[in-house]
Chains A and B, each alone.
Chain A
């Protein structure tokens, strides 16, 4: 039999039975679609949670001046006040391996005024590192410049809410305003964002740390936040931070390093559960899809036993029949899977529109697995009964008993 004829026979076989073919396509599409959509949802939920936790700062260390009681050891002697945290301390922490960002922070309240409007705001003095550590995003303009941390540049970045209250819908970039006694130029506005690390980042003004030092007339930092490269090195990083500060503070253990241990532990548990859940959802939907496709295939092919008998009576060999059904199954399963992929894309798109908060991205592995399973089940359960029917004597296959 010629290859062209095999394909055209197979094509006519499913094109000629509309209802049956549509049924098959629907089964395949639902099978593939549900696997992809469910795993996409699972993955979306997982990455949403991961995102939420990482915005909580799971790989951040917060260095506070003074030693908290929980560290143990003798209580600080009277007369020895803890040394201040300095800008240089923050710089020094950057030399620790695995620590990429180190943001010194000065916090204070100051009156903010522009033209006739004045209000009290939280002022954050920091460096460009804060941008990475707090995963900030700009609505307009830019953040603090990289290398001007130590310079008293008269520039500021406004939180989204602060900007709106001060400027309304007028552009703020390039405008100047007063904080306390000083004049600052607006170089950027933060994108709207929620709370992070217990601070409302939409209602702040951020200025260079050196400017904050003069504004509040202090040299000491409120705290230093450092970010480690990964969660795995948190313990090592914490020890290294303590050692570095101790060296710089003449052997005194006078800082407290806080990591979000409880958050981290919870995060790990939730992460494990979520991963398991996503995997189970995937496995179950794959099993369900497989059984669905298998059943439809079995019904369809058993309906065609008589046709197989006829083909044999007309001189088809067993091998020819298997090739014919295999070809047909491959074509049908491929088209069905393609519909499934379209269905999945459509559904994911719809869900995204409904719940924009969920970060949805179809995982490639789920597409691959879903299509592979559909093809495999579709082909196997079309061809197995065909092989069985092809083994029968034509008269048995022909009779509909």
Chain B
């Protein structure tokens, strides 16, 4: 379970202070499927980065389970990022000099996993995400959809409990975008908590819980009646 309490984050640009997040309160239960929508600059990415421990709040507390993760040491934070959170970026952020399978292997290398075990997992992931014939290609030899699938494979290979995606389809055409969404929803179906920022309302509406942000606040937090109630 994730809980954010009174999370504030502001940036100073020149003389001006931009409040990207104002007193955000949010509780997310395990296995939820949440979409975050809202106008550009409303703080969606900042919130997601906060949850992914890529950024640090100015004030407020952020807990995963019972642990206040903002207070952790660098090493422990790295551990949380490594084992409990997967992050997918709009611009993929693959390491360009590495092949698809090497990119997927990277988190396991950082975690110090045995090479044998790593190879097995990479093979599984490559298979599961339909990358078998692309495993030894470098990112610049892959299509956008393939790159994002590599990124998803990399984000999930450590079997995290939380998967965060910041406009994962933002750079893709609608077909490969749908592919990616299907993969993410399948992972959610397997139990992973999925939080996805998107500009696309039709995609956002597929989530079981929909947040709308405006100007650094969560303006709306709806659970469409058709789906099951969150937090159960």
Taken together as a complex, chains A and B put the C-alpha atoms of A310 and B107 apart, in Å, by: 10
> Which of B53, B75, B110 contacts A311 (CB under 8 A)?
B110
Q: B206 at interface (Cβ–Cβ under 8 A)?
A: no
User: In the complex, what residues of B have CB within 8 A of residue A307's CB?
Assistant: 95
| Minimum Cβ distance to chain B for residue A299 (Å) | 17
> Could you give, for residues 388-401 of chain A, a 1 whenever the CB lies within 8 Å of some chain B CB and a 0 otherwise?
00000111101000
User: In the complex, what residues of A have CB within 8 A of residue B49's CB?
Assistant: 395
| Minimum Cβ distance to chain B for residue A310 (Å) | 5
State which of A11-19, A66-74, A378-386 sits at the interface with chain B: A11-19
> Could you give, for residues 308-331 of chain A, a 1 whenever the CB lies within 8 Å of some chain B CB and a 0 otherwise?
011111111111100000000000
Q: A2 at interface (Cβ–Cβ under 8 A)?
A: yes
Let me know if A312 and B97 touch, CB within 8 A.
no
> Which of B55, B89, B112 contacts A393 (CB under 8 A)?
B55
Residue of A nearest to B45 (CB): A395
How many residues from B make CB contacts under 8 Å with A? 30
Q: A5 at interface (Cβ–Cβ under 8 A)?
A: yes
Beta-carbon contacts under 8 Å, B110-159 to A = 110-112, 115, 154, 158
> Which of A2, A306, A395 contacts B55 (CB under 8 A)?
A395
> Which of A17, A313, A315 contacts B79 (CB under 8 A)?
A315
Q: B22 at interface (Cβ–Cβ under 8 A)?
A: no
Let me know if A315 and B78 touch, CB within 8 A.
yes
Taken together as a complex, chains A and B put the C-alpha atoms of A21 and B97 apart, in Å, by: 13
Q: A339 at interface (Cβ–Cβ under 8 A)?
A: no
Residue of B nearest to A314 (CB): B107
Q: A1 at interface (Cβ–Cβ under 8 A)?
A: yes
Let me know if A395 and B107 touch, CB within 8 A.
no
Taken together as a complex, chains A and B put the C-alpha atoms of A396 and B45 apart, in Å, by: 13
| Minimum Cβ distance to chain A for residue B17 (Å) | 17
Q: B82 at interface (Cβ–Cβ under 8 A)?
A: yes
Q: A140 at interface (Cβ–Cβ under 8 A)?
A: no
Let me know if B97 and A315 touch, CB within 8 A.
no
User: In the complex, what residues of B have CB within 8 A of residue A313's CB?
Assistant: 52, 54, 81, 87, 93
Let me know if A314 and B82 touch, CB within 8 A.
yes
Q: A9 at interface (Cβ–Cβ under 8 A)?
A: yes
Let me know if A314 and B54 touch, CB within 8 A.
no
User: In the complex, what residues of B have CB within 8 A of residue A306's CB?
Assistant: 93
Q: B106 at interface (Cβ–Cβ under 8 A)?
A: yes
Let me know if A314 and B56 touch, CB within 8 A.
no
Beta-carbon contacts under 8 Å, B161-205 to A = none
Beta-carbon contacts under 8 Å, A193-242 to B = none
Known contacts: A1-B110, A2-B112, A5-B109. The answer to whether A314 contacts B98 by CB under 8 A is: no
Residue of A nearest to B52 (CB): A313
Residue of B nearest to A318 (CB): B74
Known contacts: A1-B112, A395-B49, A395-B55. The answer to whether A317 contacts B78 by CB under 8 A is: yes
Let me know if B93 and A398 touch, CB within 8 A.
yes
Residue of B nearest to A306 (CB): B93
Let me know if B75 and A317 touch, CB within 8 A.
yes
Taken together as a complex, chains A and B put the C-alpha atoms of A394 and B81 apart, in Å, by: 11
Q: B6 at interface (Cβ–Cβ under 8 A)?
A: no
Let me know if A13 and B111 touch, CB within 8 A.
no
Let me know if B97 and A316 touch, CB within 8 A.
no
User: In the complex, what residues of A have CB within 8 A of residue B74's CB?
Assistant: 317-318
User: In the complex, what residues of A have CB within 8 A of residue B83's CB?
Assistant: 315
Taken together as a complex, chains A and B put the C-alpha atoms of A219 and B5 apart, in Å, by: 116
Residue of A nearest to B96 (CB): A16
> Which of A310, A315, A318 contacts B95 (CB under 8 A)?
A310
Let me know if B75 and A17 touch, CB within 8 A.
no
Beta-carbon contacts under 8 Å, B62-94 to A = 74-75, 78-79, 81-83, 87, 89, 93
| Minimum Cβ distance to chain B for residue A244 (Å) | 81
Known contacts: A5-B109, A319-B75, A395-B49. The answer to whether A312 contacts B81 by CB under 8 A is: yes
User: In the complex, what residues of B have CB within 8 A of residue A9's CB?
Assistant: 109
Let me know if A393 and B54 touch, CB within 8 A.
yes
User: In the complex, what residues of B have CB within 8 A of residue A320's CB?
Assistant: 78, 110
> Which of A315, A317, A393 contacts B158 (CB under 8 A)?
A315
Complex A-B, nearest 6 residue pairs according to Cβ-Cβ distance, in ascending order: A315-B82, A16-B97, A317-B78, A395-B54, A394-B54, A315-B81
User: Can you show 26 pairs from A to B with CB atoms below 8 A apart?
Assistant: A5-B109, A5-B112, A9-B109, A12-B102, A13-B97, A15-B97, A16-B97, A17-B97, A307-B95, A311-B110, A312-B81, A313-B54, A313-B87, A314-B81, A315-B78, A315-B81, A315-B83, A316-B78, A316-B82, A317-B78, A318-B78, A319-B75, A394-B55, A394-B81, A396-B55, A398-B89
B contact set with A: CB distance below 8 Å: 49, 52-56, 74-75, 78-79, 81-83, 87, 89, 93, 95-98, 102, 106-107, 109-112, 115, 154, 158
Given contacts A1-B110, A307-B95, A311-B106, 8 further A-B contacts (CB under 8 A): A313-B52, A314-B110, A315-B78, A315-B81, A315-B82, A315-B83, A394-B81, A395-B49
